[in-house]
Amino acid sequence: MNRKGVFTIVVSILFLGFAFSQDVAVAGTASLDKIVTRIQDNYKSMKDYEATFVQETKIKAYPRAQRSSGQVFYKKPGGMRWNYEKPEKSEIVTDGQTVWMYTPSLNQVMKTEFSTSNQSRVATAFLSGMGNLKEDFDLSLDTAESDEADHILILRPKDKMDSVKTLVFTVDKETFNIKKSVLTDLYDNVTTVRLSEFKINNGLENKLFEFIPPEGVEIVTPPAMP
């Protein structure tokens, strides 16, 4: 997996994960401001989470979608771990500064700085625990696609140089939990992520976001990404 692929995973799972609440909101008609405020409040109250993820990535240049699944862990500020089970075992680990991408079948780990692997300013802000939806995005509701069960929330970064083109959230109208996140980058590649078996604020240990390369593994440090 290349660093641009890591970028899409960081953004998709990060934004999907922080928007789960621990309680149930009062059902009823919700304005755009109410939806966004509830999601932001969920994010502020969350210290860590873990979940099972299913990811589908559609690269514009390739006709077939790439599907993968596994477990994801996040802890403020800056810690994320992806344990991939399918289609093959691999790990991506970051403490917010260094990103390690380990592929056992290749006996190789790619090491890079998070600042060079991630071209999204808003993703960096939220990973560090300092993001703000209303300040960082232009927000709108897609009323044509919304239905009785879900709101469709569209987010466009105010920073036009950001590598995220759009984020689309499917938001449950009763709980305000996000069911699905769809990210489109500036190259029109699309990454869809769904989470399940969600656990929040369980006190994840910091060592979970530390990576020690196995003995004998090849460590690759790629050149700076344009």
- Per-residue pLDDT of 135-167, as tens digits, reads 888 999 887 777 778 889 898 988 887 778 888
**Mean pLDDT estimate for the chain:** 81
* pLDDT at 3 (0 to 100): 47
- Rounded mean pLDDT, 55-72: 87
In the structure, what pLDDT confidence band is assigned to residue 27 with cuts at 50, 70 and 90?
very low
In the structure, what pLDDT confidence band is assigned to residue 226 with cuts at 50, 70 and 90?
very low
Is residue 108's pLDDT more than 50?
yes
Which position has the higher pLDDT, 131 or 166? Answer: 166
Structure tokens at 82: 């992806």
Distance between CA atoms of residues 46 and 77, nearest Å: 11
Is residue 216's pLDDT more than 60?
yes
* pLDDT at 85 (0 to 100): 94
Distance between CA atoms of residues 165 and 163, nearest Å: 6
- Rounded mean pLDDT, 98-111: 92
Nearest in space to 7 (alpha carbons), one of 156, 225, 171: 225
In the structure, what pLDDT confidence band is assigned to residue 8 with cuts at 50, 70 and 90?
low
pTM of the model: 0.80
Give the whole-number percent of the chain exceeding pLDDT 90: 22
Is residue 206's pLDDT more than 90?
yes
* pLDDT at 203 (0 to 100): 94
Is residue 119's pLDDT more than 80?
no
- Rounded mean pLDDT, 179-204: 87
Burial class for 193, CB neighbours closer than 10 Å (0-12, 13-18, 19+): buried
